[in-house]
Amino acid sequence: MISVEEALRILRAHLPAPGVETVDFRSSLGRVLAEDLLANSDIPPFDRCAMDGYAVRADDTRPAPVELPVAGESRAGGGMPGSLAPGRAVSIMTGAPVPPGADAVVVVEQCRTAADKSRVAILEPVSCGDNIAPRGCEARAGEPVLRKGHRVGPAEIAVMATFGYARVDVYRKPTVAILATGDELVEVDRQPRPDQIRNSNAYCLAAQLELLGFPSDYLGIARDTREDLHRKVAAGLERDILIITGGVSMGEYDLVRDVFRDFDLEILFNKVSIRPGKPTVFARKGDRLVFGLPGNPISALITFECFVRPVLGRLCGMMSPELPRMKGELLRDVRQAPGRTAFLPAWVSWREDGWVVDPLPWKSSADIIGFTGANAAYIFPKHLDRMGRGEKVEIMFLPDFFVRQR
């Protein structure tokens, strides 16, 4: 049995190189750039007015108040204005080009315009550069504006549009399939026998993938026969990543690892010192990756977030795809059997100057109902059997932390 840290090290060491594809820039939201994007022009492309007012030569405002004749107008989209002669002013709007010769803009609140708009009184002097965004102050042609490895958000979409990047290279999303296993499972719309339960893990995993922005193919339930499992695993290996839930422990009918050998899958680990989720399997054949997650619902949920999420993120080019972690103060005493690092349900909130952690009761790794009240998992170190109220504990925010309400 290996530690959580060792399992993560093995995962990182056995990832294939991420693929690259070219997409419409509007489809790149949430993706990771696989190329540097360079400015192909100065931004702004001219000296740009930052406020409504009058473009002037700063020296002409020194004896303010001073009255100047208005020599014209500059507005956004109205063409490039002519040069400003000394002793004159030009009416100017926010975003418009500053006329050559002008070196400052007096805001409209510091002016008094004649009724016929032919003259303007400048009430306060200005300094050179006031209320002007100089050409190229945001970006110079040839400079990188977005770097390879940068994750795309709304602001990045705007940058692409600014420089005309209609198509961009991003890291490809791997294809993912989900397979549930076990004779004890029936589908959601079926009535289980007294010895059966409805399949919930596959749908929980699909939802976790969807929150990450990954579509997935559901391969159904594989029965506890080598033939059925073999057939469905073969279908799953047509995708980049296959996630199997159930059938990975040591029971007589847990056939997953036997079928892995049928396909010459290299099992890189099959037991992790984590609670819940000890019987977690990771295997690889070429660039195909397979995860065998435990059958208990919380075990599958936690091991997905701890092990599958980082792999998916890195294959998409993300540098730090793990869920965010913080330190929080325990609101009550907690106990746990030592020996494995435990990820336990909690409600975490901000109070005054820090995070506070309210541990939630749970009955077992099958108690998915109890986990629905959690917005985070607190991490109980494997060498401890008790932590006291007021102690600091590490917390892992769940993916929907910021939208959950209590």
Domain assignments of the chain as residue spans, ordered by start: 4-17+173-315, 20-43+138-171, 48-133, 325-403
Could you list the beta-strand ranges (E) of 229-385. 241-245, 266-269, 274-275, 281-285, 288-293, 325-330, 334-335, 341-351, 354-359, 376-380
**In CATH, 325-403 is 3.30.930.10:** no
Q: Cα-flanking dihedrals φ and ψ of residue 11, to 5°?
A: -60, -50
Element (H, E) at 201: helix 201-212
pLDDT of 319 over the 90 cut: no
Name 263's Cβ contacts closer than 8 Å, sequence gap at least 6: 233, 234, 237, 285
* pTM check: above 0.75: yes
Average pLDDT over residues 18-25: 97
Name 275's Cβ contacts closer than 8 Å, sequence gap at least 6: 336, 337, 340, 341, 342, 343, 365, 380
CA distance 302 to 245: 12
pLDDT at 124: 93
Tokens representing 186? 């029936």
Using an 8 Å Cβ cutoff, are 131 and 58 in contact? no
Using an 8 Å Cβ cutoff, are 120 and 56 in contact? no
pLDDT at 406: 77
pLDDT of 393 over the 50 cut: yes
**In CATH, 48-133 is 2.170.190.11:** yes
Mean pLDDT (the chain, rounded):
93
Which has the closest alpha carbon to 307: 235, 241, 261, 369? 241
Which has the closest alpha carbon to 152: 169, 129, 136, 164? 169
- Which pairs count as long-range contacts for 233-238, CB under 8 Å and 24+ apart, including other chains? 233/179, 233/259, 233/260, 233/263, 233/290, 234/263, 235/177, 236/177, 236/179, 236/290, 237/263, 237/285, 237/288, 237/290, 238/177
pLDDT of 101 over the 70 cut: yes
pLDDT of 386 over the 80 cut: yes
How would CATH label the architecture of 20-43+138-171? Alpha-Beta Complex (3.90)
pLDDT at 253: 42
* 3-class DSSP string for 287-315: CEEEEEECCCHHHHHHHHHHHHHHHHHHH
Average pLDDT over residues 29-57: 96
Using an 8 Å Cβ cutoff, are 304 and 46 in contact? no
* More confident site: 116 or 258: 116
Q: What is the pLDDT of residues 207-250, one digit of tens each?
A: 999 999 999 999 999 988 888 989 999 999 999 999 999 876 65
- Neighbour tally for 161: CB within 10 Å: 12
Instruction: Decide the pairing of beta strands 341-351 and 376-380.
Output: antiparallel
Rg, C-alpha atoms of the chain: 31
Residue 346 is which amino acid?
A
* More confident site: 325 or 182: 325
Q: What is the pLDDT of residues 331-371, one digit of tens each?
A: 999 999 999 999 999 999 999 889 999 999 887 877 788 88
**In CATH, 4-17+173-315 is 2.40.50.140:** no
Render 72-123 in DSSP notation, one character per residue.
EEE-TTS----PPPTT-EEEE-TTPBPPTT--EEEEGGGEEE-TTSSEEEE-
